[in-house]
Amino acid sequence: MKTLSEVLAQEDEIVRLDPDHPGFKDPVYRVRRNEIARLALTYREGHPLPRVDYTPEEQAVWALTWERLGPLHETYACREWLESSRVLALDRGRVPDLTGVNVTLSRSGFRMLPVAGLISGRGFLSAMAQGVFLSTQYMRHHSVPFYTPEPDVIHELVGHAASLFHPDIVRLSRLFGEVARGASGEAMKRLELVYWYTLEFGLVEEGGALKTYGAGILSSFGEMERLTTKAQLRPLDFAAASTLPYDPTQYQPVLFVSPSWDRMVGDVSDWLKTI
């Protein structure tokens, strides 16, 4: 059997994982990550989207994650995400491909295009001005299905695709994109942080209960299970949210709550107009 360094020496290594990444010591996973990244890098707009043939192990991670997420969504997902998710009706047994998701998503004016991995905040947000959501296609490492330190296909489809079916999220996403295109470096940092604490990790009150609309929470059963017990909850305050650094490799210690969905939508768009 080859050692990790022997396997990787033969690879044109596109994806570099941190030593604390759950897949760092798994040569099969690292080769697979490169394969899927290569598909995205060779994609040219206007051509058919690359199709990933997910392995039985990857399909199992998808199905297992849905088994855990499904009941938690009934308790913690906001009404708007639940409604959108029912319309999008993702296959919970097999990983859907982006082409199929785009057929339904096209009704909202958005489409998902492949990207090899995490890109700059400006690149990611700016694409949304044109109704493009840049989506990864790889699967999180099977040893840590409850959380991912980087956006994977579960995060993109469960968290973002369903959200992007809601007209308010579509409007906010486009607005984030438009502002990002002209933002200075300093404004870009604030924009990324507010995106993180709202569309990725935001909470709203709904009928006296705490619900989430954040893609990062909706796609992580670890985050959802600790939502009401471990995270420090603060009213959404843009001065704080736009300056509070975050660590994507850990559960979020601080989350921001809006008094309602409508207030969240109004407050975030008002703030974006000040940038």
Catalytically active residues are 155, 160, 200, 219
Min dist CB 78 to Fe ion, Å, is 16
Question: Closest CB to Fe ion among 112 and 272?
Answer: 112
For strands 254-258 and 111-114, give the pairing: unpaired
For strands 203-206 and 209-212, give the pairing: antiparallel
DSSP 208-246: TEEEE--HHHHT-HHHHHTTTTTSEEEE--HHHHTT---
Q: How buried is residue 182: exposed, middle or buried, by Cβ count under 10 Å (0-12/13-18/19+)?
A: exposed
Question: Closest CB to Fe ion among 151 and 177?
Answer: 151
In this structure, are residues 210 and 203 in contact, taking their beta carbons and an 8 Å threshold? Answer: yes
Question: Closest CB to Fe ion among 112 and 215?
Answer: 215
Token pair 């486009």: residue:
174
105-144 burial, b for 16+ CB within 10 Å, e for fewer? beebebbbebbbbeeebeebbbbbbebbbbbbbbbbbeee
Question: Closest CB to Fe ion among 154 and 215?
Answer: 215
Min dist CB 48 to Fe ion, Å, is 24
Question: Closest CB to Fe ion among 176 and 238?
Answer: 176
Enumerate the β-bridge partners of residue 204: 211, 258
Residue 259, classed as helix, strand or coil, is: coil
Comparing CA positions, the residue from 206, 207, 205, 201 lying closest to residue 226 is 201
Residues sharing a CB contact under 8 Å with residue 71, sequence separation 6 or more, in sequence order: none
Min dist CB 156 to Fe ion, Å, is 7
For strands 232-235 and 209-212, give the pairing: unpaired
Q: Write out the residues near Fe ion by the rule CB under 5 A.
A: 151, 215
In this structure, are residues 109 and 115 in contact, taking their beta carbons and an 8 Å threshold? Answer: no
Residue whose Cβ sits closest to Fe ion: 215
Min dist CB 58 to Fe ion, Å, is 19
Min dist CB 163 to Fe ion, Å, is 9
